[in-house]
Amino acid sequence: MIELRRVVLDVLKPHDPNITVLAKNIAEVDGIEGVNISVYEIDQRVENVKVTVEGKFPDINNIKKIVMDIGATIHSIDEVAAGKTVVQEEATLHDRILEQHDK
């Protein structure tokens, strides 16, 4: 069976519980080796967070359940890596042109 190695999620969550609790709950899932959660926007009642999960796991169903159980919503799945190894994203010519343009 092909396993997922990395998943990056855009999540809208209430302030409580905090990201520490969410990270620990996700890290308890079998096959997950690490979790990183970064807050990138805060509103009065909610915060937007980027959740990066790495390991060897069959799907994201357990992660979805944990997110939903705290009253959060997955806005999007922004990145997925699957297979025997994690393939790093490489900058393309287009990316470099955009980077030059932004300077």
Question: What are 31-69's pLDDT values in tens digits?
Answer: 999 999 999 999 999 999 999 999 999 999 999 999 999
How many CB atoms are closer than 10 A to CB 78? 12
- Positions of E strands within 20-102: 32-42, 46-57, 73-82
pLDDT value at position 74? 97
- What pLDDT score was predicted for residue 47? 97
Domains of the chain, by residue range, sit at 4-102
The yes or no reply on domain 4-102 and CATH 3.40.50.1100 is: no
User: Mean pLDDT across the stretch 21-33?
Assistant: 97
The CA distance from 56 to 91, in Å, is 25
pTM of the model: 0.86
Q: How confident is the model at residue 89 (pLDDT cuts 50, 70, 90)?
A: confident
- CA–CA distance, 103 with 101 (Å, rounded to integer): 6
